[in-house]
Amino acid sequence: MAVGGFRIGSCLTFVASHLIVRGGLPVEMIPGYFFRPARDSEVARIKQVIDQPFLGIAGGWVNYETTVRAETQGPATTFHQDPLPREQWKYWVVAFDGNKLLMHEFEQVACLLQVDFDIGFSLYFRDPDQQGDQVGWSMPGTHIVEKYTNPQFTYRPAQEIESDSLASLRQLWDLYGALPTQHVFVKSALGNFYDLKRVPPSSGLLVVDLFSIIESLITHPPRQAESLDSINHQVKNKLVLLRKRYATSVAHSAYFQPAPEKQIWKKLYE
């Protein structure tokens, strides 16, 4: 691949997500795409980008060099940022050769990880292994800048994930690539789910959009001859059945008062 007339030998993609990763690194998430900590020289390049004033950043990005500590006294909570040693900094990257540009599909499938996995921007290098001259870079998306410079987000503790969980993306990637033609609607639903990253988390439209995606995956047009075939009926029954096959359980009691699972889904859908 070439950018601005330059041949690209490799790419370095900054993971904007605020993560603590446990376990051995680097880890190959999909063929040729390696998740690892940023090297010192790469951290310097990342800082050059996120410190750019033209991005319209007021409060600065998440501080990847500190840990957040909350101190509560009476009704007031004060947040402190305690510096971390260099080996515990949280600048993460995905590195790959320039001829393996599958980033858009990779980002979509990475939405299925158990933590936020948001791509910030990419740096392009002339030589393999992120060496040689930097020959280009991509701007971070507006939604990424807004999210990772929002004070309500920047003081949240980092999410934790095991490196084995990152490696499990390979299974999802293989399933994604092997979807038969009749299941193309699954790729469409995943693409729509990825697009929701651009919807503000506080927007009521987010719930409507999520249920639209669920409907597209599990429902069919109601049959006129069956009185118990409404979309509402399908959603509340099929989600209860599907939940039994989830890799990660859903703790309804953490969000709702004790109630039958079907009733919870019925109320949510209404």
Could you please report the per-residue DSSP string of 133-144? EEEEE-PPPHHH
Question: CB-based contacts of 44: which residues, under 8 Å, 6+ apart?
Answer: none
> Based on the number of CB atoms within 10 Å of its own CB, is 155 exposed (0-12), middle (13-18) or buried (19 or more)?
middle
Say if pTM beats, i.e. exceeds, 0.85: yes
What are the tens digits of pLDDT across the range 105-157? 999 999 999 899 999 999 999 999 999 999 988 888 888 988 888 877 778 88
Task: Specify the pLDDT at position 108.
Answer: 95
Checking if the pLDDT of 5 tops 60, the result is no
Task: Specify the pLDDT at position 124.
Answer: 93
Ranges 4-13, 29-38, 40-49, 207-216: which has the least confidence: 4-13
Question: What's the whole-number average pLDDT of the chain?
Answer: 88
Quote the longest CA-to-CA distance of the chain. 68
Task: Specify the pLDDT at position 216.
Answer: 92
What are the tens digits of pLDDT across the range 179-231? 999 999 999 999 999 999 999 878 889 999 999 999 999 988 887 766 677 88
CB 111 within 8 A of CB 117: yes
Backbone angles phi, psi at 96, to 5 degrees: -160, 160
Question: What percent of the chain is predicted at pLDDT more than 70?
Answer: 93
